[in-house]
DNA sequence: GTCTATACAGCGATAGAC
DNA sequence: GTCTATCGCTGTATAGAC
């Protein structure tokens, strides 16, 4: 899901999305301009407006593509090992997804947008909330399954712990920013997983 | 001195900081302008520049005041109960500090600035990192004490778990923003504490 | 689909009167 | 200490040529 250029014959719209995605993840939605993207791609601001009429349209497309990729990655985890991955392993894969996001000084697109939430156009707000809802639903399912088979232990409901996991991983990305240190994120992620699966010491590395 | 209809005896500089603090916590450092503060206080942008020469100076003063208040709050926790508060209780008080921050759609000042980190002037960056370092040191001390007396249990080092706690609480503020729901934050905070003090189910929640 | 050119609002910041 | 006035720059967005 990390984003980044995919192929060389990628269309202009996709290249705009790639550059904008990186800029939002690094500098925030209020921290970049059409001029930044135009300069990076070697086109003019006017050309950008042809592909995405306004910044709000661009932002909405950004979230849609990002959420789709994330959903595909979650489906891939469910399908891995012919659907035989144990809950703790799926959690580790989930954390590994986040590890792939933070490269190059980025943080989660929707985590960044959550910080800027009050300044976002309403359509973007709804899309951001939807992203978190989907992650929460997937994690709740995994956690409930892990509790049922005894491989995961946590207090309260599976939904509450799902929210805790998302909060901790997003917060780990956020608080790692001042230190430009991916290892710092990895250690925090490992600490979270270890707290949920105290028995499975060998399963907890998200790398 | 001059007499506008001011609520209190608070000086202009302090009132500027109050307004700016709220604006940064809600909209981010890149999401407000001198005009916003001036309009709110009924003064002009030029008057603002008299008190804080540039936006970077204002931002630095903001972090300094915020960090000082936080340090005082931590010292108050250490002093509470004549220094007899148990580690789990001190942790709960720590989480309660965060709960007081998120009112009115705010999030932690330094959490917000961490998201905007790459766009901040270098002096502000150093101050933000210092805030997290201080929190980490305080938490590490509490966690180590809790492990020593058997009241807290966690994997890895006390420092790693301290970073996990900060990440989870900051992330809980971040991910609660789309839902405008303080209860959502409270539940996540309780989930974190419960994971560290599994024996103390009756341990008071951060409310 | 991309360009040049431009409109127009907003930004941080400064000079000088009072 | 606050004001009016203004500067230079950047922001998003648009019109119309090619």
**Residue A145, class by beta-carbon neighbours within 10 Å (0-12 exposed, 13-18 middle, 19+ buried)?**
middle
SS (H, E, C) chain B: CCCCCCCCCCCHHHHHHHHHHHHHHHHCHHHCCHHHHHHHHCCCHHHHHHHCCCHHHHHHHHHHHHHHHHHHHHHHHHHHHHHCCCHHHHHHHHHHHHHHHCHHHCCCHHHHHHHCHHHCCHHHHHHHHHHHHHHHHHHHHHHHHHHHCCCCCCCCCHHHHHHHHHHHHHHHHHHHHHHCCHHHHHHHHHHHHHHHCCCCCCCCCCC
The pLDDT value given to residue B8? 60
Q: What is the mean pLDDT of chain B?
A: 93
Averaged pLDDT, A90-107: 97
Portion 133-192 of B in contact with A at CB < 8 A: 154-156, 160-161, 163-164, 166-172, 174-179, 184, 187-188, 190-192
What pLDDT does B203 receive? 43
Residues of A in contact with B111 (CB under 8 A): 115, 171, 174-175
d(CA B16, CA B18): 5
Mean pLDDT of A35-43: 98
Domains and CATH numbers, chain B: 59-204 (1.10.357.10)
- Say whether pLDDT at A1 is over 80: no
Is strand D in 7 Å reach of the CB of A49? yes
- Residue ranges of chain B with pLDDT lower than 70? 1-8, 198-207
pLDDT(A31) > 70: yes
Share of chain A above pLDDT 70, in %: 91
**CA A151 centroid distance within chain:** 25
- Quick one: pLDDT band at residue A10, thresholds 50, 70, 90? confident
Confidence of residue A207 (pLDDT cuts 50, 70, 90): very low
pLDDT tens digits, one per residue of A144-196: 999 999 999 999 999 999 999 999 999 999 999 999 999 999 999 999 999 99
With a pLDDT cut of 90, the percent of chain A lying above it is 90
What's the pLDDT at B144? 98
Average of pLDDT values for A82-108? 96
Given pLDDT bands bounded at 50, 70 and 90, which one contains residue A8? low
CB contact under 8 A, B167 and A174: yes
Sort out which chain A residues have CB atoms less than 8 A from B163's CB and list them.
172, 175, 184, 187-188, 191
Q: What is the pLDDT of residue B7?
A: 53
d(CA A150, CA A200): 11
């Amino acid at each position: 899901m990390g984003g980044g250029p995919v192929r060389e014959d990628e269309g202009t719209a996709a290249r705009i999305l790639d550059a904008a995605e990186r800029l939002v993840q690094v500098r925030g939605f209020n921290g970049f301009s059409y001029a930044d993207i135009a300069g990076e791609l070697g086109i003019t601001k006017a050309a950008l407006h042809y592909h995405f009429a306004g910044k709000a349209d661009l932002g909405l497309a950004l979230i849609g593509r990002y959420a789709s990729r994330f959903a595909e990655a979650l489906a891939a985890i469910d399908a891995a090992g012919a659907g035989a991955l144990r809950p703790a392993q799926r959690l580790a894969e989930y954390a590994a997804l986040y590890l792939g996001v933070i490269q190059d000084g980025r943080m989660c697109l929707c985590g960044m947008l959550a910080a800027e939430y009050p300044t976002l156009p309403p359509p973007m707000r709804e899309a951001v909330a939807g992203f978190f809802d989907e992650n929460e639903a997937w994690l709740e399912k995994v956690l409930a399954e892990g509790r049922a088979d005894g491989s995961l232990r946590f207090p309260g409901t599976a939904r509450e712990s799902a929210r805790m996991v998302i909060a901790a991983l997003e917060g780990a990305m956020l608080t790692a920013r001042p230190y430009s240190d991916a290892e710092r994120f990895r250690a925090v992620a490992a600490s979270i997983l270890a707290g949920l699966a105290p028995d499975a010491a060998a399963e907890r590395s998200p790398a």
